[in-house]
Amino acid sequence: MEQLVLIDESIELVEADLLKKIWHMMSMGMSVASIAAVLALPVKTVDAALKAKSTPVTKVHFAVDDAAVVDAIARTLYAEARGEGARGIRAVASVIYNRAGGRPNKMLQVVKAPYQFTPWNKGQIPPRGSGAIWDECLRVAKAMSAGTFTPTTSHTHYYNPKQANPSWAYAKGSRRSYSQIGQHRFLTVEDVVNI
């Protein structure tokens, strides 16, 4: 069994047995440098493994320094949730984040996927906004791109029931359970393929 350990912007796979050894050596009072020397590992690997003990890494975050990603996410958030307040903007951002598996390098692909986010349908480019709401969309988009965004929901889909009644909102003829945030219904749809 392997565990992912984030080291700067790269991933190292560390065997579970090796993680246990590192944690055990630390519990015996050994320094990070000493453990690294004994196990012939880079200090960064040992340090990341020790942090993983207290906070197991289940998602690895990647930072993307790309203005195009920030711009596309901000435009999407503004077009989809500008009337929903900060909570609604963050909920829509969480859907993007969850579909991309927390990876900023996938978020542009997620927002521009055909028929996923209405503002991008048929090759349209959603406009930039202005004012405090646009500033909030930019802040959230920058956090997503930097890999520092924390999703507020685990949902993968949402819709506005006043504007749409998607088939994926139903399972075997019954409406799926959802969380209402502003005008949108948020739900997790596991049997629909995402990017």
> For 154-169, what is each residue's pLDDT tens digit?
999 999 999 988 988 8
Can you tell me which residue has the tokens 């050894």? 21
Indicate whether 125 and 72 sit together in one domain: yes
Do residues 23 and 101 both lie within one domain?
Answer: no
User: What is the reported pTM?
Assistant: 0.66
Residues 85 and 26 in one domain: no
Verify that 103 and 152 share a domain, yes or no. Answer: yes
| Low pLDDT (below 70) residues in the chain | 1-18, 50-65, 191-195
Rounded Cα–Cα distance for residues 182 and 48 (Å): 39
Q: Are the CB atoms for 57 and 12 separated by under 8 Å? A: no
Separation between Cα atoms, residue 20 and residue 26, nearest integer Å:
10
> Are 45 and 84 contained in the same domain?
no
Which residue range(s) make up the domain with 160?
Answer: 67-187
- Count of domains in the chain? 2
Q: Are residues 34 and 87 in the same domain?
A: no
Q: What is the pLDDT of residues 96-106, one digit of tens each?
A: 999 988 888 88
For residues 45 and 123, state if they share a domain: no
